[in-house]
Amino acid sequence: CCGPWRDEQLAVCTPDGRRLATVERGAVRVLGLATQAVHLVGCRAGGALWVQQRSFTKPNNPGQWDTLMGGMVSAADSLHEALARETWEEAGMRLEQLQALAAGGHVQFTQPSSEAGATGYMVERIDWFHATVPEGVVPVNQDGEVARFECITHGEVHERLARGAFTPEAALVLAGFYGW
């Protein structure tokens, strides 16, 4: 009944954050267990944002638009380690390359999951960050999870949000980024 098996352990925590155990990532949504994720909003000097189009082979939201980076916090990661690992895997960038990296906030996300014959449930806390990507630094995917990157204006981000082109998680993160 599990989703895709990934050989990745995620922490199982109490509502106050106390870690109880770990579980295979493919089982968390089937069981409705809460997970933690990180996202990075990548700004470019002058007002544009770097966004990624998810690979068309991703099991969830294939081909939809996302923040510069979004990924799970594994059981082996601290929040900062997950941010660094996922930023490298998805965008080929080291945190040290970015300017003005700062925590932006967090959002809670819950929705039914299509995994296990649509019997699962996604419960996730997303901690999001923002940073300036210096001129001349261009994201390059390392793990095959991104189809392409674009650097687009805020107006284009708003237009894509309005037509539902972003993943639900990215839409919430971007709403927080824009102060909506």
Place of tokens 């638009």: 65
- Reported as a single tens digit per residue, the pLDDT across 5-14 is 778 899 887 7
- Reported as a single tens digit per residue, the pLDDT across 32-70 is 888 889 999 999 988 899 999 999 998 788 999 999 999
- How far is the C-alpha of 3 from the C-alpha of 21, rounded, in Å? 19
Q: Is residue 59 part of a domain?
A: yes
- Are 74 and 82 contacting, i.e. CB atoms less than 8 angstroms apart? yes
Phi, psi of 141 (to 5 degrees): -65, 140
- Radius of gyration, alpha carbons of the chain: 16
Least confident of 1-10, 103-112, 162-171: 1-10
Residues facing residue 34 across a β-bridge: 123
Q: Is residue 4 part of a domain?
A: no
For residue 90, give the nearest of 72, 78, 102 by alpha carbon: 72
User: Alpha carbon 24 to chain centroid distance?
Assistant: 18
Q: Is residue 2 part of a domain?
A: no
Q: Is residue 143 part of a domain?
A: yes
- The DSSP output letter for 134 is P
What does the pLDDT read at residue 27? Answer: 86
- Reported as a single tens digit per residue, the pLDDT across 115-153 is 667 778 888 889 999 999 999 999 999 999 999 999 999
What does the pLDDT read at residue 5? Answer: 77
Residue 131 to residues 35, 84, 116, 117, Cα–Cα distance (Å): 24, 13, 36, 38
Residue 41, judged by CB atoms within 10 A of its CB (0-12, 13-18, 19+), counts as buried
Q: In which domain, by residue range, is 24 found?
A: 9-177
CATH number assigned to the domain comprising residue 43 = 3.90.79.10
Q: Is residue 162 part of a domain?
A: yes
Q: How many CA atoms lie within 13 A of 60 on its CB side?
A: 20
- Reported as a single tens digit per residue, the pLDDT across 147-156 is 999 999 999 9
Tell me how many domains the chain contains: 1
What does the pLDDT read at residue 116? Answer: 63
What does the pLDDT read at residue 122? Answer: 84
Q: What is the mean pLDDT of the segment spanning 148-168?
A: 97
Q: Is residue 131 part of a domain?
A: yes
- How far is the C-alpha of 57 from the C-alpha of 144, rounded, in Å? 9
Q: Is residue 3 part of a domain?
A: no
